[in-house]
Chains A and B, each alone.
Chain A
Amino acid sequence: SQQGEEDPQALSIQEGENATMNCSYKTSINNLQWYRQNSGRGLVHLILIRSNEREKHSGRLRVTLDTSKKSSSLLITASRAADTASYFCATAPRSNYQLIWGAGTKLIIKP
């Protein structure tokens, strides 16, 4: 079952601008993860944030988590053409080996 919802479904920005994607979920989680998928390829893990963390950074990526609102955001700063991809959030519920996926945000970076 899918509990994550990404917003927006699609985002097109100019190279160099920042891109922000949001994810909402419904149940209590142990952690939330963001992945990137280039067209026709497998998914690549970007960052994992635990339920007791509020913010995490990795290079040009910044992820925030608000468990009271059951939401997360992924910020990509100084976007590049190579960032063009679909981005998915996935939540890891407590005491469950599944990952629950959102439908993804398709990001297009215009040169």
Chain B
Amino acid sequence: DGGITQSPKYLFRKEGQNVTLSCEQNLNHDAMYWYRQDPGQGLRLIYYSQIVNDFQKGDIAEGYSVSREKKESFPLTVTSAQKNPTAFYLCASSTGQGGFVAEAFFGQGTRLTVV
């Protein structure tokens, strides 16, 4: 089955630790995205990638890092520099034609909690 998979579903981080959230897709999509969602809020863009080995900062990139070494994979690292990382993280992928975004497919999310 084609889709987008995030892991783990729940993640606990101690103060000062870096943690990495996994996102894998087998939809052959070029574009991939990471969003952060806080309770009762909309989605805020952290990073996005339109092609392998290239990515751009979104609106709230500080304290996060990404890589795009393979088309299928777009892991997100939450570094110790991110002072308030407790949130719900969503990964998405989409096709893009002519410079615009078609429908986005989302993973089920990772809920990150600082302990």
- Which residues from chain A sit less than 8 Å from chain B, CB to CB? 1-2, 30-31, 33, 35, 40-45, 48, 88, 90, 92-99, 101-104, 106
**Size bracket of the B interface:** 20 to 34
- B115 interface residue (CB < 8 Å to A): no
**19 contacts across the A-B interface (CB closer than 8 A):** A2-B44, A30-B101, A33-B103, A33-B104, A35-B104, A40-B88, A40-B109, A40-B111, A42-B107, A45-B105, A90-B104, A92-B100, A92-B101, A94-B100, A97-B31, A98-B48, A101-B35, A101-B42, A103-B41
Which residues of B are found within 8 Å of A2, using beta-carbon distances?
42, 44
**Once the chains bind, are B59 and A1 in contact (CB under 8 Å)?**
yes
Contact of B106 among A40, A44, A95, A106 (CB under 8 A): A44
**Once the chains bind, are B48 and A43 in contact (CB under 8 Å)?**
no
Which residues of B are found within 8 Å of A92, using beta-carbon distances?
100-102
Shortest Cβ distance from residue B72 to the other chain A in the assembled complex, whole angstroms: 18
- B81 interface residue (CB < 8 Å to A): no
Shortest Cβ distance from residue A76 to the other chain B in the assembled complex, whole angstroms: 19
A67 to B9, CA, bound (A): 39
Shortest Cβ distance from residue B49 to the other chain A in the assembled complex, whole angstroms: 9
Q: Contact string, B73-115, partner A, CB cutoff 8 A, digits 1/0?
A: 0000000000000001010101010011111111111010000
- Given known contacts A40-B111, A88-B43, A90-B104, what 14 new A-B pairs fall within 8 Å (CB)? A31-B100, A33-B104, A42-B90, A42-B107, A43-B43, A43-B106, A95-B100, A97-B48, A97-B96, A97-B99, A98-B58, A98-B101, A103-B42, A104-B41
